[in-house]
Amino acid sequence: MAKDFVEIYDTTLRDGTQGEGFSLSIDDKLTITGILDELGIHFIEGGFPASNPKDKKFFEYAYKKPLKNSKLVAFGSTRKKNLKAKDDAGLKALIETDADLVTIFGKSWDMHVENILKVSLNENLDIIADSINFLKNEGKNVFFDAEHFFDGFKNNEDYAVKTIRIALQAGADKVVLCDTNGGSLPHEIGRVFERLKTHHALKLSRLGIHTHNDTDCAVANTIAAVWGGIRHIQGTINGYGERTGNANLSSIIPNIELKMGFRTVGIKRLKNLLKVSRLIDEISNNTPSKNMPYVGESAFAHKAGLHANAVLKNPSSYEHINPESVGNGRRFLISDLSGKSNIEAKAKELGLDLGKLSISEETDLLNKIKELETLGFNFESADGSFKILLNKYSSPDYKNKEYFKLLTFRVNIEKTCDKNIFSEAVVMIDVNGKTEHAVAAGDGPVNALDKALRKALIKFYPILNYMRLTDFKVRVISNRAKSGTASYVRVLIESSDKEEKWTTLGVSENIIEASYMALADSIRYKLDKERI
């Protein structure tokens, strides 16, 4: 028996860009359009061509690259008051995009009609009908977004329903009910759809839902609407949008597909969801949210030892779905809450076998990790340093392996009269009994230290030419007796080569020493990786 089908309408390129810190160039929008098409999104809202030249240009380019799975939608508004639809510049702009489908928004809340738009209730109905009639006569398929519908329904049910009816009578292919202020709760959404079922000849199959997240209920409200009979939903990838965002399709799609038994993009394409989520974060220059359901880095991360032990025996004990169904993966975190199971699972994830350790060695390793965590080390965010620590316990040869030994380092910072700051580092190391001395200047003390350390090591390990430092973070550790500028700090350094990225850490009350520890571990990780 075929599953019921739910249409997915993505508005990341339009509503998403109204969010703070979310901006896209024309090329960005074209790239994302291709990504959403590959995911199998049914409708992609490309932008508001009447509002800005960039969106108008986007449609010119977009139609030169036909889509395989999606339909591109142009967005606009009902006509302005005191104008005929045929004379409205915004509606003309929609016609000029060559889009087969257009979405226009109009008022459905009587307060907005009378106080904001400042027209009579009947005149607003005429505006809706005239706008849709014009677009239909021009050969367009039309979706009508009933703006502020749920607030309007609460205030004046009869009038809100009239706006739906007039839109459908004018030929709208779909009327989308919008929780524009995002203030509704799931039980209210459900109640509205139960009421709509009592209105004669109003078919839910011709309605859709568009919610905002101001009560943190946009996903739940959308699900309530689907449960109430709606089969067309709108939202954005990762929930980007104005104020607190739109309904998050990265959660809604798997909820509907995996939990509710409906068909959206299909099980096969759903495995690309994490990839799509990360790509859109990257293109828009936003940091992925770790705790986002389904696609977050922490969505299937296990920290408590009892949880890890149970997951190793039966993943469903602490995982509500198979992570791979959305393209994600299971992670085991290491902290002072960790047990033996966490460490064994994490070691396996890193390609190490702790099976040969004795019970006392396992206990020593666990105690060492907890001791270091107490000092401020945080291995759950530094797989590189954790792998080095595990190697010392899991590999007999590694215990006595020492690529280099620090003899001394010094870092000088000088402020010159021309307002420039000069940083210089001096490093002396021992490599297999040979002493090497190096001096380097840098943009800052850590950069200078990094350059000096590499300069001293490069003649022994040329492979270090192919790694680079890609990120540097400092965190004050607050659980210490000292505070303020005397606090202990944790330094996290991300390094990479052409194949992978890894993170290492150092902890000290001296930021330069903590930085050296993280830098040294980053180099050791690379040398381990290359089996030097």
- Residue (of 244, 224, 219) closest to 234 by Cα position: 219
Strands 7-10 and 43-47, bridge-based pairing? parallel
Which pLDDT tens digit goes with each residue over 111-128? 999 999 999 999 999 999
Q: Is the pLDDT of residue 376 over 90?
A: no
Predicted local confidence at residue 398, as pLDDT:
62
Closest CA to 492 of 504, 477, 502: 504
pLDDT at 342 over 90: no
Query: CB atoms < 10 A from the CB of 197, how many?
Result: 12
Question: What CATH topology corresponds to 7-283?
Answer: TIM Barrel (3.20.20)
- pLDDT bin (cut points 50, 70, 90) of residue 363 is confident
| CA atoms of 93 and 57, how far apart (whole Å) | 11
Q: CA-to-CA distance for 256 and 155, rounded, in angstroms?
A: 31
**Is this model's pTM higher than 0.85 or not?**
no
Digit-coded pLDDT (tens) for 217-273: 999 999 999 999 999 999 999 999 999 999 999 999 999 999 999 999 999 999 999
- Give the per-residue pLDDT at 336: 46
SS3 label, residue 409: strand
Residue 11 sits at φ, ψ, to 5 deg, of -120, 30
User: Is residue 334 scored above 90 in pLDDT?
Assistant: no
Taking only the tens place, the pLDDT of each residue in 56-76 is: 889 989 888 889 999 999 999
Taking the CA atoms of the chain, what radius of gyration do you get in angstroms? Answer: 29
Using 50, 70 and 90 to split pLDDT, how confident is the model at 1? very low
Tokens of residue 510, six digits:
């001296």
Amino acid 367: pLDDT: 73
Domain ranges in the chain with CATH number 3.30.160.270: 405-529
At 419, the amino acid letter reads: K
Tell how strand 405-415 and strand 421-431 pair up. antiparallel
* pLDDT, tens digit (0-9, with 9 covering 90-100), for 453-506: 999 999 999 999 999 888 888 888 755 445 554 578 889 899 998 888 899 989
Delimiting residues of CATH 3.20.20.70 domain(s) in the chain: 7-283
Asked if the 405-529 domain carries CATH number 3.30.160.270, the reply is yes
Could you give the count of Cα atoms lying within 13 Å of 169 in the half-sphere of its Cβ? 12
Q: Are 90 and 79 in contact (CB under 8 A)?
A: yes
pLDDT, position 349 = 65
pLDDT (tens digit, 9 = 90+) per residue, 421-448?
Answer: 889 999 999 998 999 999 999 888 999 9
